[in-house]
A and B are shown apart, each in its own frame.
Chain A
Amino acid sequence: MTNPITNMPNDPGDIKGEEYWAKRGAINLFLFRRYSPSARATNPQKPVLFLVHGSSFSARTAYDLDIPGQGDYSLMKTFAGLGYDVWTMDHEGYGKSSHTDGFSYIADGVEDIKAATPIIENQTNKSSFCFFGSSSGALRAGAFANTHPEKVKKLALAALVWTGDGSPTLLKRAEKINEWRETNRRTVDEEAYKEIFTRDVEGLTIPELPSVAAAAEMKNGGGSVPNGTYIDMCVNLPVVDPKKVECPVMIFRGDHDGIATDDDVLRFFINLPNKDKQLVMVSGQAHNTTIGINRARFWHSLDSFLSMPKRVDL
């Protein structure tokens, strides 16, 4: 059965949720997996999909949110229903992963993903996966693709910023650079989430989202997150080299996203050497494409990119 609004399959009714742990030195890293045995059996060609979270949410707040009575909000459940084997992880200092005295910079995130991949390989018998990252999660995923191209089959990037030139959000964020550097963590509560969801434009997320996200984040990670990605995005961009991304890439950009200018994103796209690439710009979207009211449009684009027929070489 297909949902007539989203054009996506309805919940198959057997979606599993499994927890795993990876180690990076002394740091414990939490991994979470969702899949549907029946959907996997029906769609055996669907790949392993690794979701990389951004700066202000732990993995399940970002990608496995449950809002009763408001329809599907979990990207993990939606794609598990489509037949994907969906994984995500809490980076160092986020969610259930070890809260260290580090800042959890983009480069640390790359090491986190590197530590997670053997677990996923072991469970799935696959040696490369499709990656999706949003915001600084796109930077983590992009930087991982730079250094470990053999592990990245396809790369989908949402809410991407490359150089940060002209970015309204980063210009404002940089005003507090001393605050981000002073301590390695900041509080994320309902007020912080309300600011994140409305800073670009109001009305593209439901009013209940800040309180639901804050409650989920408190449950998942205790209500605070590391500052490293904020610092990187303010003073260390670019951290991803498009010329070193070898796999097919889709860039998804919401029309109101202030994290980057169109020009910055387009120049990143132009510099990608692989000719299998898509730039998808969609209206009715701000920075948080995965949990906005038009998230179905994002799902549709992501599934389409990941489901592209294989290339025929004569």
Chain B
Amino acid sequence: MEGPIWSHEYFAQKGDVSLFMWRKRLESPSKCPAPKPVLFLVHGSSFSGPTGFDLQVPEKQDYSLMDKFASYGFDVWTLDHEGYGRSDKTSGNSGILEGVNDISAGMELIRRETHATSAAFYGSSSGALRAAAFAEVFPNSVNKLILDAFVWTGEGSPTLTERTKKIDQWTSRNFRSVDRDFFLSIFTRDKPGTSEEGVAEALAERELAICNSVPTGTYVDMCSLLPICDPTKIKCPVLIIRGEHDGIATEEDLFNYFNKLPTRDKQFVIIPGLAHVTFLGANRSRLWHVMKDFLHGPDRIDER
């Protein structure tokens, strides 16, 4: 049975950089001290953590991924990477590998608050690249890894081919402006009609209330430095989720990555009716279902 969802904000420190963190779970830790499994949500290139993962859409239900997984019994965290949302704006461009350092700082705080030594990670788009890169460097901190809207080498990617046309623009400065039209374009570039009306607008309104620019580092990395992730270094179970219409990668690119994962606990799931931003799509309940079952699967019994 779902109870009230408790939330709290924190700041993690990465050197001089303060990183905003947002946490949701059923009941506060003081009221319900029993540990819950930790789920860490890693945002992508164009909007901050709570904006994407804890979105409330006027007159519509169930758009918060954080609320949904809190209701499933998880202790759900997200973080604004350097230069995003309520985290410090610096002179850096917040590339993928800088995101790994952000997550590391976030995990330090989560360990202190929850005593959990590892978490399940979900990353979307460049958030998936950050999460996978973190899992390579800190395998003991990642017990399960969900990669959504992922791209590996980028070969043949329609979205990245288009994005690369502006590479000089992305490399010439560390921030790019975002506005309402830009947010709307994220939801229509692959396949119009895969998200409800009002969702992109709600996201734009919330994000633009806290910032009107985001760092360019992940765009630069995805256009010029892929592959950044090495599947052979991932040790934990992995779920790869792909929206049917996602243009960020070809299926072949993802199959090649999947094939090289050494773990024998791995799943590749394609979900029709979804595009790049699966967690805000019309068929997001199918994403929740797949994620929940991956995270809740029975433990393996070893040989008898």
Point out the residues of chain A lying under 8 angstroms from B302, CB to CB: 284
Q: How many residues of B contact A (CB 8 A)?
A: 35
Main secondary structure of the interface of B (DSSP, over half): loop
Q: How far is the CA of A201 from the CA of B303 in the complex (A)?
A: 10
If A300-B297, A314-B193 touch, does A282 touch B265 (CB 8 Å cutoff)?
yes
Q: Which of A201, A262, A301 contacts B293 (CB 8 A)?
A: A301
**B184 interface contact, C-beta 8 A:** no
Residues of B within 8 A of A293 (CB): 301, 303-304
Provide the bound-state CA to CA distance between A275 and B298, in Å.
27
B182 at the interface (CB under 8 A from A): no
For B263, the chain A residues whose CB sits under 8 A away are 283
Closest to A313 in B: B273
Considering the complex, give the chain B residue whose CB is closest to the CB of A296: B298
> Could you tell me if B271 and A281 are in contact, using CB atoms closer than 8 angstroms?
no
CB pair A311 B273 closer than 8 Å: yes
Q: Mark A57-82, 1 if CB is under 8 A from B, else 0.
A: 00000000000000000000000000
Instruction: Judge if B101 is at the interface, Cβ distance under 8 Å.
Output: no
Could you say which residues of chain B place their CB within 8 Å of the CB of A244? none
In the complex, what residue of chain B is closest to A201 when comparing beta carbons? B303
Which B residues between 262 and 279 are near A, CB-CB below 8 angstroms?
Answer: 263-273
Q: How far is the CB of B114 from chain A (nearest CB, A)?
A: 22
Within 8 A of B (CB), among A253-310: 255, 262-263, 266, 269-270, 274-284, 293-294, 296-297, 300-301, 304, 307-309
- Which segment of B3-11, B118-126, B139-147, B283-291 sits at the interface? B283-291
Q: A255-B264, A313-B282 are in contact. List 6 more A-B contacts (CB 8 A).
A: A206-B304, A207-B304, A266-B258, A269-B268, A283-B264, A300-B296
Query: Which chain B residues have a beta carbon within 8 Å of chain A's beta carbons?
Result: 193-194, 196, 244, 251-252, 255, 258-259, 263-273, 282-283, 285-286, 289-290, 293, 296-298, 300-304
**Which residues of A does B touch, CB under 8 Å?**
5-7, 201-204, 206-207, 255, 262-263, 266, 269-270, 274-284, 293-294, 296-297, 300-301, 304, 307-309, 311-314
